[in-house]
Amino acid sequence: MFFNLHKDTVIGYKKLSEADLGTSQTSNQTHIGLYEETLNFITNYQQESSAQLIYESKIYETISLLDPIRNPNGTFRSPKIRMGTLNELQDKKLDSLGKAIRDIASFENTNSWYILWFGLENEELVFILFQEGSTDYNYFIKFLGNLNKGTLLRSHPIFEKIISYLNTKVNTLNFSYIEKLELLAQTQQFDLLNRIKPKRYDIDKAQQLFQKIGREGEELVNIYLNKEKHNNQIKNFNWVNKNGESGFPFDFEIQTNDGNLIYSDAKSTSYKFEQKMIFSSQELKFIHQNPNYHIHRVFNLNETPQLKICNNIETISHNFIKNLNKFNTLVENDNLKINGIKISVKPTLSSLNFEKIINL
């Protein structure tokens, strides 16, 4: 799983009071209080950070405005979530966590609202908002017995059961974000993500995972080509990255039975076939000069890996190089130079010829 709960997190939960929800007739409380010791895993206790609010099957991106009391020894106590003032939020694209909770609760005619909170490895806070009788409520109360208030430590016998449930929920609802991270790890354009700002931890992990799936994809193509050679479908092949990244604009050299040489690149993804493929301008220049170039598209690596082979990727490179040369000419007039760019290509383009699916 991409997101995992922090190894030192404490799970906190409570029933929200009328004061917490802003519906009390006798209180003007502007915060939601959390419990002591539940946020001690945070190493950089920022007063303003991103937080995920999960309600039913939707994630709300919010700003967590924490307002703790700092102890003389540098630790924190009495953490609470402030609603935030208009001045604080006027330049923000997102609501504060406290305001988002109150807004959701205001649409339902019930006072039986609960929150459960915990932290992820990247130190992002996650809050689950739920009502009495909901799926989340029924699951948590089955193991916790009473949801009015409490904390759950890792040493508790049911901690792992709750962790498993929370991990699955967070990763399932964050699927589109994780899918984009895999794609953007190849382009470095993390500003395109629909979040306040992706955490450095997420970016580093996405890049590490992409390197891992890239290697796994090449290993699977290597096994496939070995079978092709054994069945006399090809004469021979060379995996140029077998002993480490070569830096070549291809991963395999394939010698056909009629003596032709085909270059091939493994474009791998943990997700569906339709996930965009990323090409560098250097790769496309090489393909333009060497049209005997195949793409071995490995997909569904997280489930049952499959393969589709494209034998006409040069149709993309021809158009790209033609337009790149025009653009280069224009910018050179201003004494500028393009040192390299990356483009995304949909494998579903009608101009691309992908052969039938092969189960790996």
164 against 225, higher pLDDT: 225
pLDDT tens-digit series, residues 215-272: 999 999 999 999 999 999 999 999 999 998 888 999 999 999 999 999 999 999 999 9
- Residue with more model confidence, 74 or 231: 231
* pLDDT given for residue 199 in this prediction: 63
Summarised one tens digit per residue, pLDDT across range 96-124 is 899 999 999 988 767 689 999 988 887 88
Across 43-78, b (16+ Cβ under 10 Å) vs e yields eebeeebbbbbbbeeebbbbbbbbebeeeeeeeeee
pLDDT value of residue 179: 82
Give yes or no for a contact between 96 and 128, defined as CB atoms under 8 angstroms apart: no
- Structure-token pair, residue 142: 């089955």
Mean pLDDT of the chain: 86
What distance in Å separates the CA atoms of residue 11 and residue 208, rounded to the nearest whole number?
28
Please name the residues in contact with 286: beta carbons below 8 A apart, sequence gap of 6 or more: 249, 250, 263, 293
A 10 A CB-CB count for 236 gives 11
pLDDT in tens, 186-215: 876 655 455 555 566 677 777 888 889 999
Rounded CA-CA distance 40/10 in Å is 8
Helix pair angle (159-173, 135-144), 10° resolution: 160
What CATH class does 213-359 carry? alpha beta
H or E segment at 280? Answer: strand 277-280
For residue 11, give every residue at least 6 positions away whose Cβ sits within 8 Å of its Cβ, in sequence order, or none: 38, 116, 117, 118, 151, 152, 159, 162, 166
Indicate if the pLDDT at residue 136 is higher than 70. Answer: yes
Euclidean distance between CA atoms 277 and 328, whole angstroms: 24
pLDDT in tens, 269-282: 999 999 999 998 89
**pLDDT surpasses 70 at 1:** no
Q: What is the pTM of this model?
A: 0.73
| 276-316 pLDDT, tens digit each | 999 988 999 999 999 999 999 999 998 899 999 999 999 99
What per-residue confidence (pLDDT) applies to 221? 97
Query: What is the Cα–Cα distance from 116 to 114, expressed in whole angstroms?
Result: 7
| % pLDDT > 70, the chain | 91
The residue ranges of every structural domain in the chain are 11-173, 213-359
Q: How confident is the model at residue 51 (pLDDT cuts 50, 70, 90)?
A: confident
Output the CA angle 160-161-166, nearest 5 degrees.
95
Question: Does pLDDT of 57 surpass 90?
Answer: no
Higher pLDDT pick, 48 / 28: 28
Tell me what pLDDT residue 198 has.
Answer: 55
Q: What mean pLDDT comes out for the span 19-45? A: 81
Q: Which one has a higher pLDDT value, 58 or 197?
A: 58
**Closest alpha carbon to 252 in 260, 244, 262, 243:** 262
- Give residue 37's pLDDT: 77
Identify which of 337, 354, 335 has the alpha carbon closest to the alpha carbon of residue 345.
354
Four-way CATH pick for 11-173: 2.60.40, 2.40.330, 3.30.230, 3.30.70: 2.40.330
